[in-house]
Amino acid sequence: MEKNENMQFESPTFTQRLKGMLGVDIYRLFHTPLFYIFLAIAAIIPAMIIGTTGMPGPNGEMTEPLFTNVWQAIASDNPLYVVSHIGQYANMNMVFIFGGIMVSIFIAHDYKSGYVKQLFTTHPKKQDYMMSKTIICAFAMACMCITYLLGSVLSGLLVRLSFTVNFGSLICALLGKLIMSLGWASLYVFLNIIFRKYFAISIASSFFFGTGILIIGAAAVVGNSSILNIFLYGASVSACLSSGLLSVITCLIVSVSWAVIYNTIGTHILNKSDVY
């Protein structure tokens, strides 16, 4: 009895706390229709774009195809910050736009369902919440990238597009896109923490930043400058069909840096404000 009275219960470590919260978030992600709906959307997007390419126009003439190669639906041929036609924009970067909407709905449900109130009553570490949400949302967007890839390949086979590509550059481009999921997730989680009480604004802000309008505007002034790679959209664009290892490293550095920055600021905001 004396031994039990003198026992001291140690607080869970950071790793234990994060593991526990991730376990809950993973369970919630796989048990909500939202995740599977957005996976399907990611697969349908390239199918719609590729499937309608070269279709007859209103006067019966054949429209110019957006793509001549299936992999152009994955990434542009070169790093393009300013696009001249929609075909240069219509690639896997669109996943990050719809991924932002998914993150907004996912986090909004935390507040609407009362999950956040219950969570912070028993689990006061706001940093753990930010990190768990960033990791799980990055995972969800990476999964969307994979279904987008599958949709592109299947559609390309159906319309018989060319599959010719530099395999090494393609792998680097895909790795870059997957890595960028972390940076985009951190931005979207941060935006939704700021606008947690205003769902419509959080959706609009995620869509606005996801389209890369700001970086496109900057590129219109300074041109296709490599310095724009310090921005999320810039680094995402650098993951193209002429990518190499340097492009992958750029995506990694930018994505991790943005994750650290936005998790730090987001944690500070949660600690200083009413989270309910």
Q: Per mean pLDDT, which range of 85-94, 149-158, 195-204 is the poorest? A: 85-94
For residues 247 and 172, the answer to whether their CB atoms sit within 8 Å is yes
Mean pLDDT for the stretch of residues 64-75: 84
pLDDT tens profile 40-62: 999 999 988 887 655 555 555 55
Cα gap 191→203, rounded to integer Å: 9
Q: What is the Cα 133 distance to its own chain's centre?
A: 12
What predicted TM-score, i.e. pTM, was given to this entire model?
0.88
- Give the pLDDT of residue 271: 84
Cα gap 236→230, rounded to integer Å: 10
Cα gap 223→16, rounded to integer Å: 47
Beta partners for residue 214, in sequence order? none
Whether pLDDT at 207 is above 80: yes
Whether pLDDT at 4 is above 60: no
């680097």: which residue's tokens? Answer: 172
Please classify residue 220 by burial: count the beta carbons closer than 10 Å to its beta carbon, then call 0-12 exposed, 13-18 middle and 19+ buried. exposed
The token duo for 276 is: 């309910």
Cα gap 69→71, rounded to integer Å: 5
The fraction of the chain above a pLDDT of 70, given in percent, is 87
For residues 188 and 103, the answer to whether their CB atoms sit within 8 Å is yes
- Give the pLDDT of residue 248: 96
Mean pLDDT of the chain: 86
**Which one, of 250, 219, 217, lies nearest residue 81 by Cα?**
219
| First-to-final CA distance of the chain | 42
Whether pLDDT at 39 is above 60: yes
Residue type, 194: I
DSSP output for the chain:
-HHHHT--PPPPPHHHHHHHHHHHHHHHHHTSHHHHHHHHHHHHHHHHHHHTTT-B-TTSPBPPPS-SBGGGGTS-SS--SS-SSHHHH-STTHHHHHHHHHHHHHHHHHHHTTHHHHHHHH---HHHHHHHHHHHHHHHHHHHHHHHHHHHHHHHHHHT-B----HHHHHHHHHHHHHHHHHHHHHHHHHHHHTTT-HHHHHHHHHHHHTTHHHHHHHHHH-S-GGGGGSHHHHHHHSSTT--HHHHHHHHHHHHHHHHHHHHHHHHHHHHS---
pLDDT tens profile 93-150: 999 999 999 999 988 888 887 777 777 777 668 888 899 999 999 999 999 999 999 9
pLDDT band at 154; cut points 50, 70, 90:
very high
Cα gap 265→276, rounded to integer Å: 18
- Give the pLDDT of residue 110: 81
